[in-house]
Structures are given as C-alpha cells and as structure tokens.
Structure 1
C-alpha cells in the first residue's frame, strides 16, 4: 500500500511538472532537432556544391589549355553565379582574368579581377588587386594602379605590393620613389624568395643600389650556390 501511494505521488509530481514545462520541453526538442537537420542539410549542400564546382573548374582548365577564351569566360561565369560560396569561384575568376589578358581582352580581365576584389577572401582579394594593378599599369592608368596598391593588404603580400609600386613609379618617371619601393620590396622578401634577383636588377637599372645588409645576403646566397 505504501508503495502504491509513493508511486501515485511520483505520477502526480510528474504530471504537475509536465503541465508546467511540457510545452517548453517539446519546443526545445523541436528546435534542437530542426537545427540538427538544418546543419546536416547545409553540410550536404556545401559538399554537393563543391563537387559540382570542381567538375566545372576542370572544364575551365581544359578551356585554358585550348586557349578558348570565350568558353573559359562562360564557364567562369557559371561557377561564379551558381557556386559563389566556394573557393572555385574565386579561382575561376583569376584563371579567366589571365586568359582574357592573354587574349588582349583587358576589359574582361579587369571585370574578372574586380569580381574577386568584391567577393573573395583576403588572400584572393590581395592577389586580384596585385594583378589588377598590373593590368592598369599596362593601360597606363598609373594613378588608379597606385590607388589600388595603397589599399590594405595582408602582411605576407608586402614585398609584392612594394615591387609593383616600384614598377608603376618607374612608368611615371618617379625614379627616387621607385628606388624606395624596390628597396622596401627587398627588405620584405625572405632570402629564399626567387623574385629577389629580379627586384635587384630593376633597382640597379634605375641607378639604385641594394642596401648593405641586402647585398651581404645576396653575396652569401651566390657563394652558397
């Protein structure tokens, strides 16, 4: 009898608890299960997007090998439109810009690079800005190129930015400033950087000299080789 009374009290307590918190528990479970389902769906969607974008990117590479600029632009446009959330969209825009530039289609090259500047992550944006500045240099749009290069870049691109600034300043016949830019590029480069020698050649071509510490590094590298 005592057992029955205890059991009845437990049932009564549970009923009271459920009456008070039952709806809340149900909604919490619904939200948790819904969130879990949405998370799984999103991950599956992202994987599907990545696989599909990868297949299109392979087609783009084939178009690049065939020097088919028109086809490359179409495929890159499809990737950017349908799979803009994947890294392949940024990669395709950079690749399409390169083939457009080689086809002397500077307008399209600039548009593709600008897409990356507007939509890419920090690293891809930096690469696109550097290449876009190069296109502007070829177009003799020197002020626009320098304006682009004066924007904020990740620290690891400081050498490339200074090098490209030097190229633009040389084209503007601002030789003293160009020397400073090339010296800054050398200072920012590691001794293993394969671009060091080219920057040094450009610096010396405009009457500049490699700073003593940089010259010492160059001599040591030459001796080691």
Structure 2
C-alpha cells in the first residue's frame, strides 16, 4: 500500500514538474507584471494625493493675496501653481481668481493672460468655459467683437445659455440687433428662472422691443 502511494505521489510530482516546466515562466512573469502594475497604480495614487495637497497650499496663497488685494502676490502664486501643478483643478481655479484680482488693480494684460492660460490649458472643461466667457466679455469691451464671437463657438451644453447671452452682447455691439435678439431669446430659454442673469436677459429683450410673450415665458420657466 505504501509503495502504491509512493508511486502515486511520484507521478503527481512528475506531472507538477512537467506543468511548471511548460508554464512556469509564464506564471512567474504574469505575477511580476501584476505586482508591478499594482505598485505603479499605488505609487500614482500617492503622487496624485501629494500633488493635490501641494497645489491646494499654493491656491490658498492666491486666495489670501486676493483677499488682501495684493495683485502682484496673486500673480506670483498663480505662476508657481501653473508651472508646478498645471493639471490640477487648483491651477484653473487659481487662474480665474488671479485674473479677477489683477483686473481689479487695473492690470488688464496680466489678468487677460491668466484667463487665456485657463481657457487653453486647464484640464477641466467647466473652468475652460468660464475663462472663455470672461475673455469674451473683455474682447467685447475692447471692440474685438468678431474675436469674441469666435471664442464663444462650440461651448459645452451646460454653458450655452451664458454663451448665447454673451454672443448677443457682441452682436449688439456690432449693430446687429436681429442677431442679438435671436441670441438673447436663446439665452432666455436656456438660463434657469432661479438665476438673476435671466432677468437681465429679459431686460435686454425688452429694450429691443421683443419681450417674451407671457405664455412663452411661462413655458420656458416650466
């Protein structure tokens, strides 16, 4: 009986040796790759967290500078964050905040440059859209109406109401009242009733002699 078991064990051992000889390298490399991928993923997660923490600290610096009205300090902090952490949401937020601070201190070129960076380099579509809207307003104010209209093309659907209002402003400044009215009507329908901007759009339509009909206004509100 013992001899039978010994022979069975030897046969199983031989089968295991044959299996390992045939598939051992494949199994080893599969395990190495799996463990390597896990280590890389874990390292990436840690790096991402480190980036977010450091970017947050720099954004806090931009925020403190903005609250103090220190445009130069805000600009320096934004330069640091966009150089070191350009892919983070904090970089885009810092650009928008720095732009406001710079413009409040009549540093228009620097403020515009900050918005331009966000519009072109931000990784988050919502921040890019906000920067484009604000840049378009500056372009309209400076008389670059066609450039503003081009900048407002292909906006994300969530920003279409705001973009339509801004396009209406650009067309109105060009003297195209019919085109402006069409854009304001589009904006009025797209902007939620709860937003104050909707009432401003209504005022613009009224000034053009084209306020929405009561039933149309009620339908848009619903």
Q: TM-score, normalised by structure 2?
A: 0.92
CA distance in 1, matches of 2:125, 2:69: 29
CA distance in 1, matches of 2:165, 2:70: 31
Match of 2:39 in 1: 37
Shift of 1:105: 2.1
Match of 2:126 in 1: 123
Report whether the alignment pairs 1:17 with 2:34: no
Task: Please say if residues 191 and 217 of structure 1, whose CA atoms lie closer than 8 Å, have aligned partners that are also in contact.
Answer: no
Match of 1:4 in 2: 6
Match of 2:139 in 1: 136
Shift of 1:72: 0.5
Shift of 1:59: 1.1
Shift of 1:205: 2.1
CA distance in 2, matches of 1:65, 1:58: 10
Report whether the alignment pairs 1:71 with 2:73: yes
> RMSD of aligned C-alpha atoms?
1.8
CA deviations on 1:157-199 (whole Å, 9 max, x unpaired) are: 1110111111111211222211121111111122222211111
Match of 2:197 in 1: 195
Task: Please say if residues 186 and 214 of structure 1, whose CA atoms lie closer than 8 Å, have aligned partners that are also in contact.
Answer: no
Match of 2:164 in 1: 162
CA distance in 1, matches of 2:217, 2:26: 73
Where structure 1 has 5 or more consecutive residues not aligned to the other structure, the ranges are none
Q: TM-score, normalised by structure 1?
A: 0.91
CA distance in 2, matches of 1:39, 1:215: 52
Shift of 1:217: 6.5
Report whether the alignment pairs 1:185 with 2:187: yes
CA distance in 2, matches of 1:210, 1:168: 21
CA distance in 2, matches of 1:71, 1:142: 32
| Equivalent of 1:204 in 203, 206, 211 | 206
Shift of 1:216: 4.4
Where structure 2 has 5 or more consecutive residues not aligned to the other structure, the ranges are none
CA distance in 1, matches of 2:111, 2:172: 23
